[in-house]
Structure 1
Amino acid sequence: MTPAPTPDRRLAVLGAGSWGTTFARVLADGGAEVALWARREEIAREIREQHRNSAYLPDHRLPETVHATSDLEEALDGADGVVIAIPAQSLRGTLETWPALPAVPVLSLTKGIERGTDARISEVIAAAGGAAPQRIGVLSGPNLSAEIAERRPCASVVAAPSQELAEIFAAWCTAPYLRAYTSTDVIGVEIAGAVKNVIAIAVGAAVGLGHGHNTTASLITRGLAEITRLGVALGGRPETFSGLAGLGDLVATCASPLSRNHRLGLALGQGLDVEAAAAAVGQTAEGVATARAVADLAARIGVDMPITRAVVAVVDHGESIDEVTTALLSRSVRPE
């Protein structure tokens, strides 16, 4: 039997939810030794002893080169790079309880805008994690973790402040089933990844209300326009929003029943309130918390985002999803 190749890098993945665990497997399939940090010791122990994470990825065995620990210092020891997979709204609080991140490249898998500060995730990592902005990158694209866990072919975008750093991150993601494209538009990729979750809630709600493909196509298309307006106003590049991080991720998240945000919107459209809908989904749907942050950010810089405002009206203010959707699609005539 041919011996397994020796891992050529050691990477720490912080966060052992479904996406963090799946991406740890991607990195291992790409040739890395991976230290996966789990908040709960029982999850870390199961991964160490059984090579499974039954709480978040029950049907898949993890490679031998994925090691798990609930000890942050152990996870970071000797790491050539760090991957962040912690939910957006708990990220700052988590990072502030830790020592500063090591001076290595840091890749964020987290999608969202922080409530209260309107900060992008890379800004939170820099401020609360002590990482230099010039070594922080972000990954986005059509990233439905259930499909990636099945090793189905897909592509993603890794964006970093420099092309050299983006290529380092892309080299981490060299699994046979995942193609990583590079970008230096960190702002555009982050905004696209955050706001698509909000639009997916609106699209899921429309499906839950019984509307058809014309309605969902209209919401996706106008949602892309909203994302692009905000991203460009913040300094993102227009072409980013027609690529994998923009249109690609938006279509996957809005159309797939694997998307948590789509499923949450679907439950809202079927008559559940926000708490019951979130319970039905069972895992964090970032679009709920992100919606208000996006709406606040857009209002502060004067960008019109009617779909986002409609989602906020439902998830934060308890308005009827049926009434909001009807009002949204009956706006006054205006040029597209």
Structure 2
Amino acid sequence: MSGQVAVLGAGSWGTAFAKILGDAGRDVTIWARRPSVVAALQAERSNPEYLPGLVLPERVTATGDPGEAITGAELVVLAVPSQTLRGNLAEWLPYLHRDATLVSLMKGIELGTTKRMSEVVMETARVPADRVVVVSGPNLAPEIVAEQPAATVVACPDIDRATLVQRAITTPYFRPYTNHDVIGCELGGAVKNVIALAYGIATAMGFGHNTRAMLVTRGLAETARLGVALGADPLTFAGLAGMGDLVASCSSPSARNRTFGEHLGRGATLEEARIATRQTAEGVKSALAIRDLARAHEIEMPITEQVELVCHEGVDPRRAVAALMSRTTKPE
């Protein structure tokens, strides 16, 4: 195989990941759906809509043709919104090399099926678990493209394959760690988006550090409860893909789920918040799927439940806070 890489999706994280790969010495082709994005990536080596000021390495090129991007690629990086993955991947199957490693950057749970993204990939592409690698961690794209030091987790049941990806994305500013716990890494990435929505709502409502610390710690607790029920290693949630990703998404004003939550906390509707943020806040739709997953396994996730009520059932955030605080007291 050629050693080339396809990055499918030209949002902020997909574009930043292409830069990482290029800086690590790989030849990368980004696929973007919109011709205007392809044109900017090609002509200006930038993505001004998502990452103004970025200049991509010479090794990175762009195309609007998925076949051109995927054919012959050794690594196929999936960076589309989680709820579109199944449909997109089904269209891309004819171009996939039989030995390609599929790398998931997505942090969500599929609506309706409550499947994790690696499960959607395995089912749609008809590949075993050891062909799918999950990348998750505190990876805010604007900081990474500014080459500020960052770390991530590369998870796969096949540690040799995880190591292959680790080597492909190691740069002086980006440090990947391998892990075998795909379940824990994916749940950490998906649930933190929902908790970040709650954090943004609380911030906009004027609550201080006590409230925010409560949301982070109790949010991590409900993430770990669900993860353990599904077979995850509880230690994963103390690491980069758990606490690390949660802290970054809650504390950073540039994190999209926190920002989306802030709009909701100021009284915006779901549509008004979507227009204002102009990016996909994965936690909005994942809140529904995570709630369903938790109920199916009889796991209490009170913060997730209240975020779902605010986002999808029009509950006033003040009522949601009151509901959280009035729950029956119990041991920690």
TM-score class normalised by the smaller sequence? over 0.9
Deviation at 1:228, TM superposition (A): 0.2
The total of aligned residue pairs comes to 329
Residue 87, structure 1, aligned to residue 113, structure 2? no
Please tell me whether residue 330 in structure 1 is matched to residue 326 in structure 2: yes
Q: Which of 64, 74, 82 lines up with 1:70 in the alignment?
A: 64
Q: CA deviation at 1:59?
A: 1.1
CA distance in 2, matches of 1:113, 1:298: 12
Query: Percent of pairs identical after alignment?
Result: 50
Ranges in structure 1 where 5+ consecutive residues have no aligned partner: 1-7
1:243-277 deviations in whole A, cap 9, x for unaligned? 00000000110111111000111111111111111
Distance 1:57 1:140 in 2: 20
CA contact (8 A) 1:102 1:131 kept: no
What are the equivalent positions in structure 2 for 1:79-118 lying under 5 Å apart? 79-100=73-94, 101-103=96-98, 104-118=100-114
Partner residue, 2:224: 228
Give the alignment partner of residue 40 of structure 1, picking from 2, 26, 34. Answer: 34
The letter for the 1-side match of 2:33 is R
Q: 1:26 is matched with which residue: 17, 20, 27? A: 20
Distance 1:177 1:18 in 2: 17
Kindly report which structure 2 residues correspond to 1:1-336, keeping only aligned pairs within 5 A, or say none: 9-100=3-94, 101-103=96-98, 104-336=100-332
Report the RMSD for the aligned CA atoms in angstroms: 1.2
Q: Answer yes or no: is the 8 Å Cα contact 1:9–1:31 preserved in 2.
A: no
Code of the residue aligned with 2:173 in structure 1: it is: Y
> TM-score, structure 1 length as denominator?
0.95
Deviation at 1:172, TM superposition (A): 1.2
Q: Which amino acid aligns with 2:115?
A: A
State the shift of 1:210 in Å. Answer: 0.6
Q: Secondary structure at the match of 1:68?
A: strand
Deviates more, 1:188-197 or 1:319-328: 319-328
Aligned mates of 2:325, 2:19 — CA distance in 1 = 42
Q: Is the 8 A contact 1:52 1:62 kept in 2?
A: yes
Q: Is the 8 A contact 2:140 2:255 kept in 1?
A: yes
Q: C-alpha displacement at 1:315, in angstroms?
A: 0.6
Shift of the alpha carbon at 1:165?
A: 1.2
Separation (CA, whole Å) in 1 of partners of 2:168 and 2:322? 45
Q: TM-score, normalised by structure 2?
A: 0.97
**Shift in Å, 1:320:** 0.5
List gaps (5 residues or longer) in structure 2: none
